[in-house]
Structure 1
Amino acid sequence: MNVTLRQLGYFKALAEERNFGRAAERVNISQPALSVQVKELESTLGQKLVERRARDVVLTPFGRLILAHAIRVLDEMQGLTEAARWQGGLAGRLSLGIIPTIAPYILPGVLEALRSRDISLDVQVREAKTDQLIADIQSGQLDAAIMARPVASEGLSERLLFEDRFLLAGTAVRLSALGQGVDALRPTSLAHSPLLLLEDGHCLTDQALEVCGRGRGHAQIDMGASSLGTLSRLVAAGFGLTLMPEIAAATEVRAAPGIYLRRFTPPEPARQIVLVRRHSTHDEVWFEKLAEVLQAVGQSMISHARADQPERSDMSDARPAPETAQADVTGTLANRDGHSLP
């Protein structure tokens, strides 16, 4: 009897879960069926792979050796399957992950760009936080994902798409209270200002804390919003300030017109948006073509945002962003305080 890829996959799941019940659930078969498959694999190889205990299993030295080979074989086969699937370019079905602070702003443009280029690609989008996306890429549930650096995981390759700068968002009263001059608009100058952030687990929260030099326990920090939309409405109501990604600014200002935007003093804080895939993926044609589409759409949106929010820190001319297609932050600030709280 020959060793099958299915048996290697079952054994890999058991080795990682260390429990027959959890492993069986993971590979969608019954526990007895999994046990039979592992026993058949042991019989074929002539040695025990696991020590069966009451609550878990432990790999034997031979089992550890076979696991290393199994992982390599399964990775190679997955790469072969992907290469065949994507041969000839960007076509077929693509499972694409994306973080929530990018998804609603870039996806409409990306899907339209794919249609306009007559690319026959069936895109299945999964929106999730960074840690989950990385896990899904590694497990093969996703082909690629759009996220922000740093991507703290081995075995992944990334391609830079665009740089997304942070704007300071708040009501007129809160922003004018920061004062004038270049020092007033440095991230580290916000130490005594109430800062509203997304709930823990969002990479945007980690980036904002790092940019402002604050810890999670800071008295002036409130983390709890589940989306940028919720966060924007809280800011528009005057509950605090937040860091707004350029790519989201136009959409969120239209939805919450009480928000004003100011640019930070250069060098402006920013996040780098990347497209990530498994390093073991053999054929890179589809990845590069997809990256080109994403890069073109993202950079176009950023260019529009920078045209509508000029690079300036002087508050003397600022005015509220109008409810138009893009936010415009030039004008007169002193005559309006929006919906701010005292």
Structure 2
Amino acid sequence: MRPTLRHLEYIVAIADTGQVGLAAAQLNVSQPSLSSQLSEVETELGVTLFQRGRTGAKVTPAGEEVVRRARRILYEHQDLRAAVKGGGIFQGRLRLGVLPSIGPYLLPGVVKRLHKDHPSFRLIVREESTRDLSEGLRTGRLDMIISTPEDHPGARSTYLFTETLWVAMARDHLQARQTAPLPLEALADQTFLTLSPGHRLSHIVAGLSARAGGRVSDEYEGTSLDAIRLMAATGAGFAILPSIYAAVEARRGTDVCLRALKDPTAKRDIALIQPALPDPRMGSDILADVLKSEAQVILKH
């Protein structure tokens, strides 16, 4: 009966790589064999899954639903095998999506601990915007994500920690002469620097800017926290940074002055999020505990 699990792996690999040749190499099969298998599955299903041409293989509208369901079936199959072995997520591969404003600063310690306790565990990390993380979780491209829970309604969320927000400014700015938390009203008429609109942080910063009577820069949208911190160091404006990043930068000896932002809305909750299946994936509670613990280590300094 087609499609088999192997056929589903073929379909997902082609969707991920966008090339039949690359998918064949990834799966260790010949390109003619993969093309033949794909054609047979398309005939069996009665739909064209990929529009193939010189530029690659693009998923068709009908194929999008098949790819989404194929990911889900493979996910469930992998979960079944892990459950039989008794190790849950630590018996296989986990595709973890994470906000780029968190991943590089939180995950190094987490990965080190997980690999020490679970040497066979394969963790694949993807840093993406809030919008892309949502798409990845919905389509099955990602197994779990670390993100802001309000942006993923209907999913299963496990609270991890709350980040307060900090203000980074040039060292020669008048506000840099003090170290106490900075009231939001002190930023009236100032320029706020933040990430592009695809990130939840940019929406939080826009709200803070409006309440302060400032403005979000329309001349510069950062692609990373490092980028907006560097712009703040030049005096181009005030960068609003989450606390894990700020804590890591403070220990490095940063090129900006960092002051906590004193406002009840200057914060964001972070959660481990997975699809809303009847039960959470076995082992996800252990992963959540490790993430919480590592965050506490970083934030207490």
TM-score, length basis structure 1: 0.64
Read off the aligned partner of 1:289 and give its amino acid letter. Answer: I
- Which residue does 1:241 correspond to in 2? 238
Q: Secondary structure at the match of 1:213?
A: helix
- Which residue does 2:52 correspond to in 1? none
Q: Secondary structure at the match of 2:274?
A: strand
Quote the Cα distance in structure 2 between the aligned partners of 1:57 and 1:95: 24
- Which residue does 1:62 correspond to in 2? none
Quote the Cα distance in structure 2 between the aligned partners of 1:24 and 1:280: 32
Q: For each residue in 1:68-124, what CA deviation from the matched residue of structure 2 results, as whole angstroms up to 9, or x when unmatched?
A: 9x97797466324313225423523222221111111111211232245x2232222
> In the TM superposition, what is the alpha-carbon distance from 1:275 to its structure 2 partner?
0.9
CA contact (8 A) 1:106 1:298 kept: yes
Quote the Cα distance in structure 2 between the aligned partners of 1:152 and 1:210: 20
CA contact (8 A) 1:76 1:280 kept: no
CA contact (8 A) 1:80 1:282 kept: no
- Which residue does 2:123 correspond to in 1? 123
Alignment match of 2:43 (pick from 39, 42, 47): 39
Quote the Cα distance in structure 2 between the aligned partners of 1:208 and 1:271: 11
RMSD across aligned positions (CA): 4.2
Q: Work out whether 1:196 is the aligned partner of 2:196.
A: no
CA contact (8 A) 1:192 1:220 kept: no
Q: Work out whether 1:167 is the aligned partner of 2:166.
A: yes
Q: Secondary structure at the match of 2:248?
A: helix
Instruction: Please tell me whether Structure 1 or Structure 2 has the larger radius of gyration of its CA atoms.
Output: 1
Alignment CA distance shift 1:219-1:303 (3 Å)? closer
CA contact (8 A) 1:7 1:37 kept: no
Alignment CA distance shift 1:26-1:218 (3 Å)? farther
Quote the Cα distance in structure 1 between the aligned partners of 2:137 and 2:257: 38
> In the TM superposition, what is the alpha-carbon distance from 1:242 to its structure 2 partner?
1.4
Alignment CA distance shift 1:124-1:8 (3 Å)? closer
Quote the Cα distance in structure 2 between the aligned partners of 1:278 and 1:83: 16
Read off the aligned partner of 1:107 and give its amino acid letter. Answer: L
- Which residue does 1:286 correspond to in 2? 283
Q: For each residue in 1:183-227, what CA deviation from the matched residue of structure 2 results, as whole angstroms up to 9, or x when unmatched?
A: x612x653400211223423322221123337xx94755432221
Read off the aligned partner of 2:110 and give its amino acid letter. Answer: V
- Which residue does 1:103 correspond to in 2? 103
Quote the Cα distance in structure 2 between the aligned partners of 1:114 and 1:226: 29
> In the TM superposition, what is the alpha-carbon distance from 1:293 to its structure 2 partner?
0.6
Structure 1, unmatched stretches of 5+, are: 43-48, 51-55, 60-66, 305-342
Alignment CA distance shift 1:243-1:289 (3 Å)? same
- Which residue does 1:88 correspond to in 2? 86
Q: For each residue in 1:228-281, what CA deviation from the matched residue of structure 2 results, as whole angstroms up to 9, or x when unmatched?
A: 112212212222111121101133245563422222335251011111112237
**Where do 1:58-73 residues align within 5 Å?**
none
Quote the Cα distance in structure 2 between the aligned partners of 1:75 and 1:41: 18
Read off the aligned partner of 1:140 and give its amino acid letter. Answer: G
Quote the Cα distance in structure 1 between the aligned partners of 2:7 and 2:77: 16
Q: Tell me which protein shows more helix as a share of its residues.
A: 2
**Where do 1:193-232 residues align within 5 Å?**
193-213=190-210, 218=215, 220-232=217-229
CA contact (8 A) 2:5 2:74 kept: no
Alignment CA distance shift 1:146-1:74 (3 Å)? closer
- Which residue does 1:176 correspond to in 2? 175
CA contact (8 A) 1:82 1:283 kept: no
TM-score, length basis structure 2: 0.71
Identity of aligned residues (%): 25
CA contact (8 A) 1:196 1:222 kept: no
CA contact (8 A) 2:79 2:281 kept: no
Q: Secondary structure at the match of 2:173?
A: helix
Q: Secondary structure at the match of 2:262?
A: coil
Q: Work out whether 1:262 is the aligned partner of 2:262.
A: no
- Which residue does 1:273 correspond to in 2? 270
Read off the aligned partner of 1:163 and give its amino acid letter. Answer: T
